[in-house]
């Protein structure tokens, strides 16, 4: 830690591993990364945490549906999130997974503390329960008294669970939120929570019986129960620092700020402060809440496929353009709409036109200066006041906006400045000045102003456009570690050799053009195959990792107590295997015997309803219909599909 540096600890939600990383997760993580980079630029001691939430019903069910164990699913998808952040250039300090022992240990220690302090008690919980889904439903989720998934009537089940005495913190919580007006921000979410707290607060069930759900952290004082997933998950913010008593915890915890979207304000604004208070730990400094991305104005459906595709556009248009678009387009706190057209619009207008042209025009002029003009430049009277003042104004707005997560305002101010410098070039006409020997001093002053403007931009743009900012700094010969204190014009009269930098953000002529042979535009259009999502294309070598074989079904039987699963024995020629396939709703066992189906032969084995499955039967499906894949000529079992 630098002497006298301010300390800053920032977290994202930990993402559920039943999903693939998509635009929504990426936005929160980009926001946090931009903020962490800004605070590092300011010289602060920054700790930036992200990670994955890996326990609970949702994960257990998704794993079963995928034919994997929960841990296998968690390992695979947690790695997918990590990989997405690597691709996006996210510079997190730590990545926590709730299945790690370092997390489990702290969760159990906190539970034990709460138990010892009498903050928890064993009580009864009753609610509508679906045996098919193995879970309780809330009144809101029920459709005409039935399970929305199985269309079967729900049973009223009463179950003993451990409860956290959350209700006793209601008055304290209201008082805390009222005393710190920016504890939950923007204000609309603070008001929402205060509104919610007008009704009596209930105690919180913090356990699930192991007999119903075993995928969780056992309660330290009763191992017939596991911890409710939210109670487990929220503690990640503490466990990642080693927990109370750890030096890292003591350094960073007093400065913690969380970022989440509006969907999870309640656990963060009600459960979490109450839990912290009960455990004797200080509450966070700020909960920063942003809105939801919609696609084409529609509410996001349950299927997140199109959000995944939206994130894939980072590969088409580049990380900086993607990052710029989401930071600029969403007013932090409100919902915003994402579309490829809008992204391309901003890319062309703000990045190619405004910034790209400025950099290209200025570096073209500066790089063509003769070496003997350098001394004259060094003695010029510093940058023109008009531009210098504009940079000072932009910097002030950026600092104020960043203190409240108003990224769009910070970027708006910087683009005001970029516009000002472009106008400055238009009005001073340096090309004309250069040709007139009597106006050389004026020309030199314009050059100094431009070099200094680019130096300013090369530093201040770092959190928002990390790659482009680095290129700008290098073009103007600024090889120093970027620091916010150097983002000021008129302070630095060092002049380095400038290199021409053009095409920083090439214009995108048209989206979705497929017949261009120009490589630069080709990557931006739909590839010639006509596939809608270039990032989803696989290479021959990707494909060859999957071993597909013809398998003959020898026996088939229903798996007891399961609606969906069949147990198959298949022959792969040289060997026989047991497979579990989720096709019982579409095939009677007898129909399958003798069929030659297609299976994935090199899948990691997985246990489903206690049966180990060694491979997967391929099937095509659409709207409730399903058909297994077969080969259309007779081939011996074991034949390889290439």
What residues line the site for ligand MSP (CB under 6 A)?
13-16, 19, 24-25, 27-28, 53, 233-234, 236, 260-261, 263-264, 292-293, 300
What is the nearest approach in angstroms of ligand MSP to the Cβ of residue 336? 9
Closest listed residue to residue 629, CA positions, set 589, 602, 595: 595
User: Toward ligand MSP, which CB reaches closer, 298 or 625?
Assistant: 298
Helix axis angle, 170-179 relative to 187-196, nearest 10°?
160
Instruction: Give CA–CA dist 87/267, Å, rounded.
Output: 30
- The answer to whether residues 482 and 463 touch, using CB atoms and an 8 Å cutoff, is no
Instruction: Give CA–CA dist 233/17, Å, rounded.
Output: 12
User: Toward ligand MSP, which CB reaches closer, 14 or 406?
Assistant: 14
Closest listed residue to residue 324, CA positions, set 196, 123, 465: 465
Annotated catalytic residue within 25, 103, 564, 614: 25
User: What values do phi and psi take at 623, rounded to 5?
Assistant: 30, 65
Annotated catalytic residue within 58, 124, 140, 150: 150
What is the nearest approach in angstroms of ligand MSP to the Cβ of residue 268? 7
Let me know the angle formed at the C-alpha of 142 by 140 and 147, rounded to the nearest 5 degrees. Answer: 150
Catalytic site includes residue 147: yes
Annotated catalytic residue within 58, 105, 133, 210: 133
User: Toward ligand MSP, which CB reaches closer, 201 or 264?
Assistant: 264
- Provide Rg for the chain, Cα atoms: 30
Instruction: Give CA–CA dist 198/608, Å, rounded.
Output: 46
User: Toward ligand MSP, which CB reaches closer, 87 or 306?
Assistant: 306
Instruction: Give CA–CA dist 431/425, Å, rounded.
Output: 9
What is the nearest approach in angstroms of ligand MSP to the Cβ of residue 516? 32
User: Toward ligand MSP, which CB reaches closer, 25 or 361?
Assistant: 25
Catalytic site includes residue 22: yes
Annotated catalytic residue within 147, 277, 444, 564: 147
What is the nearest approach in angstroms of ligand MSP to the Cβ of residue 332? 11
Instruction: Give CA–CA dist 186/439, Å, rounded.
Output: 52
Catalytic site includes residue 440: no
Helix (H) or strand (E) run with residue 249 in it = helix 247-252
Closest listed residue to residue 465, CA positions, set 290, 288, 291, 325: 325
Instruction: Give CA–CA dist 162/174, Å, rounded.
Output: 25
Three-state SS at 617: strand
Instruction: Give CA–CA dist 52/62, Å, rounded.
Output: 15
What is the nearest approach in angstroms of ligand MSP to the Cβ of residue 272? 8
Residue that has been written with the tokens 């399961």 in this structure: 562
What is the nearest approach in angstroms of ligand MSP to the Cβ of residue 357? 32
Instruction: Give CA–CA dist 80/293, Å, rounded.
Output: 21
What is the nearest approach in angstroms of ligand MSP to the Cβ of residue 267? 7
Annotated catalytic residue within 117, 255, 268, 302: 302
User: Toward ligand MSP, which CB reaches closer, 9 or 27?
Assistant: 27
Q: What is the DSSP letter of 302?
A: S
User: Toward ligand MSP, which CB reaches closer, 229 or 355?
Assistant: 229
Residue that has been written with the tokens 């579990």 in this structure: 580
Instruction: Give CA–CA dist 324/336, Å, rounded.
Output: 14
Question: How far, CA to CA in Å, does 302 sit from each of 66, 307, 469, 502?
Answer: 18, 10, 38, 43
User: Toward ligand MSP, which CB reaches closer, 38 or 272?
Assistant: 272
What is the nearest approach in angstroms of ligand MSP to the Cβ of residue 550? 39
Three-state SS at 475: helix
CB-CB neighbours of 490 under 10 Å: 18
Instruction: Give CA–CA dist 442/445, Å, rounded.
Output: 5
What is the nearest approach in angstroms of ligand MSP to the Cβ of residue 468? 25
Annotated catalytic residue within 22, 268, 277, 596: 22
Strand partners, 204: 164
- The answer to whether residues 293 and 338 touch, using CB atoms and an 8 Å cutoff, is yes
Instruction: Give CA–CA dist 597/619, Å, rounded.
Output: 9
What is the nearest approach in angstroms of ligand MSP to the Cβ of residue 114? 17
Q: Which residue is closest to ligand MSP by CB?
A: 24
Catalytic site includes residue 150: yes
What is the residue-wise DSSP string for 518-569?
-HHHHTTS--TT--S-GGG---HHHHHTS-EEEEEEEEEEEPTT-SS-EEEE
Let me know the angle formed at the C-alpha of 279 by 273 and 281, rounded to the nearest 5 degrees. Answer: 65
User: Toward ligand MSP, which CB reaches closer, 32 or 347?
Assistant: 32
Catalytic site includes residue 268: no
Question: How far, CA to CA in Å, does 412 sit from each of 290, 395, 397, 409, 615?
Answer: 18, 11, 9, 5, 54
User: Toward ligand MSP, which CB reaches closer, 109 or 398?
Assistant: 109
What is the nearest approach in angstroms of ligand MSP to the Cβ of residue 625? 30
Annotated catalytic residue within 55, 103, 130, 314: 130
Catalytic site includes residue 146: no
User: Toward ligand MSP, which CB reaches closer, 234 or 581?
Assistant: 234
Active site residues: 22, 25, 130, 133, 147, 150, 299, 302
């Amino acid at each position: 830690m630098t002497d006298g540096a301010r300390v800053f600890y920032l977290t994202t939600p930990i993402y559920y591993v039943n999903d693939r990383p998509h635009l929504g997760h990426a936005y929160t993580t980009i926001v946090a990364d931009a903020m962490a980079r800004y605070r590092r630029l300011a010289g602060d001691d920054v700790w930036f945490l992200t990670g994955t939430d890996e326990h609970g019903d949702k994960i257990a069910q998704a794993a079963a549906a995928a034919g994997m164990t929960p841990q296998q699913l968690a390992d695979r998808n947690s790695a997918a999130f990590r990989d997405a952040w690597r691709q996006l250039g996210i510079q997190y300090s730590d990545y926590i997974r709730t299945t790690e022992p370092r997390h489990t240990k702290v969760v159990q220690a906190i539970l034990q503390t709460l138990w010892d302090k009498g903050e928890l008690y064993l009580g009864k919980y009753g609610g509508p329960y679906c045996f098919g889904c193995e879970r309780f439903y809330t009144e809101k989720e029920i459709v005409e008294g039935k399970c929305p998934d199985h269309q079967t009537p729900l049973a009223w089940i009463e179950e003993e669970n451990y409860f956290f005495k959350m209700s006793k913190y209601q008055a304290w919580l209201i008082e805390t939120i009222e005393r710190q007006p920016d504890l939950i921000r923007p204000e609309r979410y603070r008001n929402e929570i205060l509104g919610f707290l007008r009704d009596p607060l209930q105690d919180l069930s913090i356990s699930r019986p192991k007999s119903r759900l075993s995928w969780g952290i056992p309660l330290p004082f009763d191992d017939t129960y596991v911890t409710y997933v939210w109670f487990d998950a929220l503690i990640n913010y503490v466990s990642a620092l080693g927990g109370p008593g750890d030096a890292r915890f003591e350094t960073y915890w007093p400065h913690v700020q969380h970022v989440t979207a509006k969907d999870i304000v309640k656990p963060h604004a009600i459960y979490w402060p109450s839990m912290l208070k009960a455990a004797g730990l200080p509450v966070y400094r700020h909960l920063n809440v942003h809105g939801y991305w919609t696609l084409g104005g529609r509410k996001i459906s349950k299927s997140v496929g199109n959000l995944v595709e939206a994130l894939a556009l980072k590969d088409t248009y580049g990380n900086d353009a993607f990052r710029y678009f989401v930071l600029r387009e969403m007013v932090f706190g409100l919902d915003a709409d994402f579309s490829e057209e809008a992204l391309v619009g901003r890319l062309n207008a703000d990045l190619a036109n405004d910034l790209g042209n400025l950099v290209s025009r200025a570096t073209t002029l500066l790089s063509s200066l003769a070496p003997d003009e350098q001394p004259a430049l060094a003695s010029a009277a510093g940058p023109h006041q008009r531009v210098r003042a504009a940079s000072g104004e932009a910097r002030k707005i950026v600092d104020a906006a960043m203190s409240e997560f108003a990224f769009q305002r910070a970027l708006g101010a910087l683009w005001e400045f970029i516009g000002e410098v472009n106008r400055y070039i238009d009005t001073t006409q340096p090309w004309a000045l250069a040709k007139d020997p009597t106006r050389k001093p004026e020309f030199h002053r314009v050059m100094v102003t431009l070099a200094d403007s680019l130096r300013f931009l090369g530093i201040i743009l770092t959190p928002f456009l990390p790659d482009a900012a680095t290129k700008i700094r290098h073009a103007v010969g600024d090889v120093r570690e970027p620091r916010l204190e150097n983002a000021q014009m008129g302070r630095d009269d060092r002049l380095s050799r400038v290199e021409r930098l053009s095409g920083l953000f090439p214009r995108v002529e048209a989206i979705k053009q497929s017949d261009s042979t120009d490589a630069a535009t080709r990557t931006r259009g739909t590839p010639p195959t006509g596939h809608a999502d270039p990032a989803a294309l696989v290479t021959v070598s990707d494909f060859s990792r999957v071993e597909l074989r013809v398998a003959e079904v020898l026996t088939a039987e229903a798996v007891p107590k399961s609606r969906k699963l069949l147990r198959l024995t298949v022959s792969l020629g040289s060997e026989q295997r047991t497979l579990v396939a989720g096709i019982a709703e579409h095939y009677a066992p007898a129909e399958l015997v003798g069929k030659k189906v297609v299976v994935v032969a090199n899948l990691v084995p997985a246990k489903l309803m206690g049966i180990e499955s060694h491979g997967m039967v391929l099937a095509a499906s659409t709207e409730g219909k399903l058909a297994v894949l077969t080969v259309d000529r007779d081939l011996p079992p074991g034949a390889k599909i290439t």
